[in-house]
Structure 1
Amino acid sequence: MDSLQLFILALVQGLTEFLPISSSAHLVLPSQILGWADQGLAFDVAVHLGTLSAVLLYFRNDLMQIIRDWTLNTVGRGPKTLHSRQGWFLIWATIPAVVFGGLVSVTGFDEMMRTTAVIAATTLIFGTLLGFADKRKNLTQPLEELTLKQVIIIGLAQAIAIIPGTSRSGITITAGLFLGLTREAAARFSFLMSIPVICAACLLVLLKLVTGTDPVHWGELGMGIVVSGISAYLCIHYFLAFINRIGMMPFVIYRLLLGLVLVGMLCL
């Protein structure tokens, strides 16, 4: 792939990783529609490292408190606090995605699902569910009142996001809204949940890269990290700033239109 194509893919990864519109779908579509070559495992690692850097930087204060309180409570027998509970919640929420993602990767089923037909179906189905969830009237629960039962449900929802077009952030925000969380609470927990999942995805792809024979172009990887990282950071900031005002309907409409376009392409 040339530099412009890689720049576009890095930008798309950064913008769509945390929006409820599916980053995997937007990375698969160029090869399906435009005939672009696969960007390679090394570039996949780079753009995921970029988005990981963005979410770590944005939530650095929250993460430092979570790690500190969780460590003190678990190892040092410190008091149970809101942040120590959130640490355990992130662990429990991650387990279903890691288990399911690992099984799917080992079987190779993830590659079989990377088709336009699958993306079209999941884009429409989960976009519609997001719209129904956003129309609920009792979206009042703050993040501080999150329960373990709710965390497990959201974690199971995250495991479904291995299917291209589902959107990890979309399905977890949808689950949070159905459970009564505020839009901002659902989004913030979804973004925090992304950290261990993206770490696991990076490790998985790195293992494939180490055992593969793909050449590594360091300049392109550096560009991918920077572009995806900057765009992801801006995306997180503005999404959280405006989500309570605009709601999820703009993303629902976008998903439905995209899904219909994809269906139309399949019918041609």
Structure 2
Amino acid sequence: MIGESMTWMQAIVLGIVQGLTEFLPVSSSGHLRIVSEVFFGSDAGASFTAVTQLGTEAAVLVYFARDIWRILVAWFRGLFDKELRADHDYKMGWYVLLGTIPIGILGFVLKDEVRTVARNLWLVATMLIVFSAVIAAAEYYGPKKRGIEQLTLRDGLVMGTAQALALIPGVSRSGGTISAGLFLGLNREAAARYSFLLAIPAVVASGLFSLPDAFEPAGEGLNASGPQLFVATVIAFGVGYAAIAWLLRFVANHSMYWFVGYRILLGVLVLGLLATGVISAT
């Protein structure tokens, strides 16, 4: 069954939602699924989500351009000079690459499930609430003593594995990685910074992989045109850039409990709308 065409207003609104929520521990894919269903009565789809995430990841590339360039240079130099391999930036390059493996493997194996059953709103709302407990526990029990310069390979692999949980809408990529970082003893800002860097390979690969499906939609739900996808992605870039700066300042001085409370309220609200038949789960 062919879905309905997305309007320009829908594309703009969803682009803003993507930019606002990608880096916050509240699940951007979950929010896109909820907003598109509640306000537009249909699902924008996993491919739309993946492609617009290219905009927010472009924001990461711009915001952290100096850090990324420094890491890349150190990594390439270290490949050919053993004496440079003690440099933290060289190690960081490997941490990001190796930490990306879990979500890369699981994303490929479970790609069909991620686009179908995982987008059921009962599951999304439930994960918003359930994973709130994980974030709260990380905030409460995490020592939060180590900075980004003290990141280890073990930290990178554990946080990379936690990132793979974000394949389930409602969990949150940043929520999973930041929580894992807090449990490991990283402070909030260090966990958030590595979370941003770790997301780059996985999200860019996912977005590029989803481009054919997004530009040639054939399923149910909202189908965006090429120009609409482009505009939504550009909007996600601009809003996402501002969100990065805000989140880094926020987590440096505030706890994660603010996001926990928001997630629970939203999850309960969506469950109520589903239970009363106001919105459909699929």
Structure-2-length-normalised TM-score: 0.88
Ranges in structure 2 where 5+ consecutive residues have no aligned partner: 1-5, 277-282
Per-residue deviation, 1:206? 2.0
Question: Which position in structure 2 is the counterpart of 1:90?
Answer: 96
Separation in structure 2 between the aligned mates of residue 37 and residue 200 of structure 1, nearest angstrom: 26
The verdict on how the C-alpha distance between 1:109 and 1:229 changes in structure 2, with shifts beyond 3 A counting, is closer
Query: How many residues are treated as equivalent by the alignment?
Result: 267
**1:60 to 2:68 alignment:** no
SS in 1 for 2:168: coil
Calculate the aligned-residue CA RMSD, in Å: 2.1
1:128–1:256 CA contact under 8 A, matched in 2:
no
SS in 2 for 1:61: helix
Question: Which position in structure 2 is the counterpart of 1:4?
Answer: 9
Moved more, 12-21 or 218-227: 218-227
What is the letter of the counterpart of residue 261 of structure 1? L
1:11–1:231 CA contact under 8 A, matched in 2:
yes
Structure-1-length-normalised TM-score: 0.92
Say which of 265, 271, 274 aligns to 1:266.
274
Say which of 207, 212, 229 aligns to 1:202.
207
Moved more, 30-39 or 152-161: 30-39
| 1:157-191 alpha-carbon deviations (Å, 9 max, x no partner) | 11111011000011110111111100000000001
Per-residue deviation, 1:130? 0.5
Question: Which position in structure 1 is the counterpart of 2:24?
Answer: 19
**1:70 to 2:78 alignment:** no
Kindly, what percent of the aligned residue pairs are identical?
36
The verdict on how the C-alpha distance between 1:95 and 1:27 changes in structure 2, with shifts beyond 3 A counting, is same
| 1:234-267 alpha-carbon deviations (Å, 9 max, x no partner) | 0000110121212211111100111111222233
Separation in structure 2 between the aligned mates of residue 267 and residue 161 of structure 1, nearest angstrom: 25
What is the letter of the counterpart of residue 35 of structure 2? P
Moved more, 17-26 or 136-145: 136-145
Separation in structure 2 between the aligned mates of residue 50 and residue 208 of structure 1, nearest angstrom: 17
